Amino acid sequence: MSETRHLTLQQLQARIKESLDGAFPLPVWVVAEISELKVNYSGHCYMELVEKGGDNQVPRAKCSAIVWRSTWGALSSYFASATGSPLGAGMKVLLKVSVNYHELYGLSLTVSDIDPLYTLGDMERQRQETILRLQEEGVYDMNRSLDMPPVIQRIAVVSSRNAAGFQDFMKELGRSPYAFDVTLFDAFMQGNEAEASIIAALERVADEADRFDVAVVIRGGGSQSDLACFNSYRLCSHLAQFPLPVLTGIGHDKDQSVADLVAALALKTPTAVAAHLADGLARFDTWLDTLRDEVTGQTVTMLDQARRSLQEYGFSLSRTATELTRSLELRLERLSGEVVRRSEALLTAGRTRTDGFRTLLAERTHTLLTARGRHIAMLESLTESRRPEKILALGFSVVRSGGKAVKDGAALREGDPVRITFARGEKEAIIR
């Protein structure tokens, strides 16, 4: 059997190294996102680079990179001065790298240069893409179209509890003479977890939206990379469609973030947001004072007008009453004379009729008494003829059963005892 040809692991890696050295004899420019960045105590900077893709931004490629101490100081300073942000995780960068392969440590990249303009362009590209997408979806102006409450006292704050920006916000509110009801919804305001943390806090606020007048998103100043999440589509979409007016104080004086653009009101700092809220109540207080003065003035004017009207009406009523009294007095005099005349005529007629009635009444009374006498005599005769004794004397008798007179023989049964009353005497009998 022939001997199988083979390579040792070291020989294989040597061939890989020779192939890579031959394929990449010179440095190349590579676009990647920094997923991790650590500066060693030795001064060297170690990076983990990643390329993401798909809707979920799943990593499709990874590689380690190093910036030697001799290069790191100048390179990092240059990048920070050009972009306003230090190199950090989450940034998309254009790096000049040399490809290296080591038998023990595998594939790595050595960074010799970086183009800050690419990072700046990528941040702006992300910003513009977010704005365009929100506009196409028709949600860009939704939060700014909400009516701002005239009085704002119930405030939901999305911020970090220990952040200087939140402390500045509370101190500024405390300086005002007005009472504010502030509820903090704690969230990470920078780093890779900031976007998801802020969205989660906003969702908690939305669940209790009826408790609040506005939502406030605040944080202190920071670099552009620290503020990158405020240009992300997911976060800005939540802010644009939020059910409460949103006020932002993200702590930067340069270009506005997309979060600022979609919010109902954007202010530069957390302190500026607190000052705006206090000024709003002061303006409302001033408006109430002005309204009170206007109402008082109008009330005094109306009372004066009513007083004058009442006086004029009183004078007119007095004149009318005097005239009416005189007219009534004259009318009463005429009526009194008429009543006297009619009373005398009625009395005269009454006397004449009374005399006639007296004579007629005497005649009618005599006639009536005579007729009533005859009628009474007839009734007495009839009553006498219908006495029970008279009827029994004619041969009639009365049959009683159970103490009651029997009117119908069918009511009696055989064996019933009865009592028979005659004109003279009584007898008991049994029915057969």
CATH code, domain with 80: 2.40.50.140
Phi, psi for 124 (deg, rounded to 5):
-70, -40
| Domain-located, residue 349 | no
Residue 21 pLDDT exceeds 90: no
Least confident of 87-91, 182-186, 292-296, 348-352: 348-352
Residue 337 tokens read as 């004379």
Flag the least confident range among 87-91, 154-158, 212-216, 270-274: 87-91
Query: Are residues 101 and 207 both part of a single domain?
Result: no
Q: Residue 2: what pLDDT?
A: 53
* pLDDT higher at 118 or 186: 186
Tokens of 342: 């009619």
Per-residue pLDDT, averaged over 228-255, amounts to: 86
pLDDT tens for 119-150 read 777 777 788 888 899 999 999 999 999 999 98
Least confident of 106-115, 350-359, 365-374: 350-359
* Tally of domains within the chain: 3
Q: Which of 47, 81, 114 is the last residue of a domain?
A: 114
Cβ atoms of residues 62 and 118 within 8 Å: no
Per the domain annotation, does 364 fall within a domain? no
Average of per-residue pLDDT across 13-42: 84
Q: Over 70: is that where the pLDDT of 10 sits?
A: yes
Mean of pLDDT values over 3-25: 77
3-state secondary structure of 24: coil
Domain match, 49 and 135 both: no
pLDDT category, 1, cuts 50, 70, 90? very low
Are 54 and 2 within 8 A, CB to CB? no
For residues 380-405, one letter each, b for 16 or more C-beta atoms within 10 angstroms of the residue's C-beta and e for the rest, the string is: eeeeeeeeeeeeeeeeeeebeeeeee
Residue 154 and residue 212 in contact, taking contact as beta carbons nearer than 8 Å: yes
Verdict on whether the full-model pTM lies above 0.85? no
Q: What are phi and psi of 63, to 5 degrees?
A: -165, 145
Q: Do residues 44 and 133 both lie within one domain? A: no
Residues 260 and 175 in one domain: yes
In a shared domain, residues 34 and 152: no
Which pair of tokens denotes residue 122? 């990528």
Last residue of a domain, one of 92, 114, 136: 114
Q: How confident is the model at residue 7, as a pLDDT?
A: 83
Q: Are residues 189 and 110 in the same domain?
A: no
**Angle, in degrees to the nearest 10, between helices 69-83 and 116-136:** 40
Q: Name, of 8-12, 13-17, 72-76, 353-357, the range with top average pLDDT.
A: 72-76
Stretch 317-345: mean pLDDT: 82
> Do 69 and 154 reside in the same domain of the chain?
no
**Which residues contact residue 88 at a Cβ distance below 8 angstroms, ignoring those fewer than 6 apart?**
34, 37, 223, 225
Q: Do 394 and 251 reside in the same domain of the chain?
A: no
Evaluated on CA atoms 307, 312, 313, 318, the torsion sign reads positive
Query: Is 64 inside a domain boundary?
Result: yes
Strands 426-430, 417-421: pairing is antiparallel
Q: What angle do CA 376, 378, 380 make, to 5 degrees?
A: 70
Shared domain for 145 and 276, answered yes or no, is yes
Q: Is residue 335 part of a domain?
A: no
**What is the token pair recorded at 152?**
């704002």
Residue 399: inside a domain: yes
Give me the amino acid identity at 31: V
Residues 152 and 267 in one domain: yes
d(CA 118, CA 256): 20
Rounded CA gap, 217 and 90, in Å?
22
| Phi, psi torsion values for 108, nearest 5 degrees | -150, 165
181 occurs within a structural domain: yes
- Asked if the structure places residue 95 within a domain, the reply is yes
Which domain, by its residues, includes 414?
A: 390-430
Tokens of 218: 């605040």
pLDDT at 170: 92
Task: Assign 397 a pLDDT band (cuts: 50, 70, 90).
Answer: confident
Question: How distant is the alpha carbon of residue 290 from its chain centre?
Answer: 29
Q: What is the secondary structure of 37-96 as a DSSP string?
A: EEE-TTS-EEEEEEEEETTTTEEEEEEEEEE-HHHHHHHHHHHHHHHSS---TT-EEEEE
Q: What is the mean pLDDT of residues 224-244?
A: 86
Residue 220 and residue 98 share a domain: no
Over range 22-31, report the average pLDDT: 83
The answer to whether the CB of 118 falls within 8 A of the CB of 93 is: yes
For position 175, which CATH number holds?
A: 3.40.50.2300
pLDDT at 431: 82
Most confident of 216-225, 240-249, 303-312, 412-421: 240-249
* Main-chain dihedrals φ then ψ at residue 359, nearest 5 degrees: -65, -45
User: Does pLDDT of 248 surpass 70?
Assistant: yes
Residue that finishes a domain, picked among 65, 85, 114? 114
Which of 7-11, 61-65, 76-80, 242-246 holds the top average pLDDT?
242-246
Question: Would you say residue 253 has pLDDT above 70?
Answer: no
Q: Which amino acid is at 384?
A: E
Rounded distance, CA 241 to CA 261, Å?
13
Top pLDDT among 248 and 371 is at 248
175, 254: one domain: yes
Residue 72 lies in a domain: yes
Q: Chain-wide mean pLDDT for the chain? A: 84
The 3-state DSSP composition of the chain as helix, strand, coil percent (nearest 5) reads: 50, 20, 25
